[in-house]
Amino acid sequence: MSSAIESLVNREYAYGFVTDVETDTVPAGLDEDIVRLISAKKQEPDFMLQWRLKAYRRWLTMKEPHWGNVQYPAIDYKSLVYYSAPKSVKPLQSLDEVDPELLRTYEKLGISLTEQKWLAGVAVDAIFDSVSVGTTMKDELAKHGVIFCSFGDAVQNHPEIVEKYLGTVVPHSDNFFAALNAAVFSDGSFCYVPKGVKCPMELSTYFRINSANTGQFERTLIIADEGASVSYLEGCTAPKRDTNQLHAAVVELVALDNASIKYSTVQNWYAGDAEGKGGIYNFVTKRGKCAGVNSKISWTQVETGSAITWKYPSVILQGDNSVGEFYSVAVVNKKQQADTGTKMIHIGKNTKSTIVSKGISAGEGSNSYRGLVRVLPKADGARNYTQCDSMLIGNKCGAHTFPYIEVQNETATLEHEASTSKIGEDQIFYCKQRGVSAEHAVSMIVSGFCREVFKELPMEFAVEAQQLLGITLEGSVG
């Protein structure tokens, strides 16, 4: 491997700082009392507590799954802390009340909760450890009837919507990590776009894990009512720590008739050091339901961080003519492991899904694509297109693909394309011969490889993705 490729892929993690804020933390370990304590701290209505307890009891009967192509030491669920909130952010009336230390953290992350994003037309809901610290643009959104707030606020102010949709896409019993999340989740984002409303701006959430030994369990629920549309981006970073941190989030999307939801993720959690020490375990359940006719849900993810990534943003295509999309870039380096992909479940007639997965493996990283396309008996005319490309940088990394197909309707059309390529010395030499540095050459080649995915990212975030990836997008996108 050329030294340029090596130095590019071995860059220092720039977001590894720790923020010093006082936190309100519950004792380590998990039992029913902790679940009740979390619910009480959040002053939740009884339906929430009951739902959490139901999930907790279910979780006790479940086993941690191990079918992923990833290896990690056993997680000690008794030593985890299930709730940690920055003390200074309790009742927040305005941004001025946010701990300046927190705001500085966000600045370091390159996001400002205030004017800049407003100018960019972005509303930001920031999650610091487990509590939402401030939501901008609420008023502007409120004018259009869009509700965009922390999950906690939604439980307080719009309990009827939460109760109606919570768990309808990812049930409390869905899987081990989802059940754990349902029991102990502390906050997250909530968005409801009413009938016929096109959300006037991009919505964004920034997640950051700060405290040591905290599991971060957020829960996001986005509902686009009939004819509504919304585009949402989450970005993630975490400080460098020697120990691994568990991130087990749940995201539920619901699109009703003629509604569309675009959900983009730029994930750059700390990946651990060169020996594989530390880093985030990112075990996330993300699923969208195209509940209505002609609805559309599109996932775009750029996954560059985490020691282990294990996630399959999926779409249930229930409404006739509904559309599901999954565009993914997953980069692994050093000893990172990623097992990611999607599930497209075709239930309605003439449903259509598109999967474009780009895996980049460098160092000793291991990258697996795992995808399921299931066509149920009534899904006449269902169509799927899957494209699955891997790029290898160096000789010690690995790329694997596990495509699963289950078709129960003979009118379905499925297409699958796959490729594996290597960044060649010849490509780099060609660029260098034109005067381009090797480092720039690598970033150019990699972003060219990812182009079909990057062009799906909202414009405002293409730049952010570029910074997080450390690769140049300019000109090679769009």
Partner 1 sequence: MLEINDLHAGIGDKQILKGISLRVNAGEVHAVMGPNGSGKSTLAQVLAGHPSYQVTKGTVTYNGEDLLSLDAEVRAQNGIFLAFQYPVEIPGVSNAYFLRSAFNEIRKARGQEEVDPLEFLDLVDEKLKLVDMDQAMLSRSVNHGFSGGEKKRNEIFQMAVLSPQLAILDETDSGLDIDALRIVAEGVNKLRTKENATIVVTHYQRLLNYIVPDFVHVLAGGRIVKSGGKELALELEAKGYDWIQTAGAAA
Structure tokens at 263: 């959900």
CB 253 within 8 A of CB 296: no
CB of 421 to partner 1, least distance (A): 8
Out of 11, 78, 143, 434, name the contact with partner 1 by CB under 8 A: 434
Rounded CA-CA distance 208/249 in Å is 13
Q: Which is nearer to partner 1, 183 or 446 (CB)?
A: 446
Rounded CA-CA distance 473/466 in Å is 6
* Sequence-ordered strand ranges (E) for 225-351: 229-237, 244-247, 250-255, 260-267, 279-290, 296-303, 308-311, 314-317, 323-332, 337-346
Choose the stretch contacting partner 1; rule: CB under 8 A; options: 324-332, 346-354, 365-373, 419-427: 419-427
444 interacts with partner 1 by CB under 8 A: yes
Nearest to 303 by CA among 334, 333, 323: 333
459 interacts with partner 1 by CB under 8 A: no
47 interacts with partner 1 by CB under 8 A: no
CB of 400 to partner 1, least distance (A): 22
β 147-150/131-135 pair status: unpaired
Out of 445, 457, 465, 468, name the contact with partner 1 by CB under 8 A: 445
CB of 356 to partner 1, least distance (A): 12
Total residues interacting with partner 1, rule: CB under 8 A: 27
CB of 435 to partner 1, least distance (A): 4
Out of 25, 173, 427, 467, name the contact with partner 1 by CB under 8 A: 427
34: three-class secondary structure by DSSP: helix
Rounded CA-CA distance 136/126 in Å is 9
198 interacts with partner 1 by CB under 8 A: no
Choose the stretch contacting partner 1; rule: CB under 8 A; options: 8-16, 58-66, 306-314, 446-454: 446-454
449 interacts with partner 1 by CB under 8 A: yes
Structure tokens at 145: 């009837």
Give the end-to-end CA distance of the chain in Å, rounded to a whole number.
30
438 interacts with partner 1 by CB under 8 A: yes
Structure tokens at 339: 């097992």
Cα dihedral: 436, 437, 439, 440 (round 10): -30
Handedness of CA 280, 152, 125, 297 (dihedral sign): positive
**Which residue has tokens 């291991």?**
366
Q: Which is nearer to partner 1, 416 or 432 (CB)?
A: 432
Q: For partner 1, what does the binding mask look like between residues 379 and 418, x meaning CB under 8 A? A: ----------------------------------------
CB of 440 to partner 1, least distance (A): 6
In sequence order, what are the residues at sequence separation of 6 or more whose Cβ sits closer than 8 angstroms to the Cβ of residue 120? 460
Q: Which is nearer to partner 1, 100 or 475 (CB)?
A: 475
* Residues at the contact surface with partner 1, assessed by CB under 8 A: 2, 424-427, 429-438, 440, 444-445, 447-452, 474-476
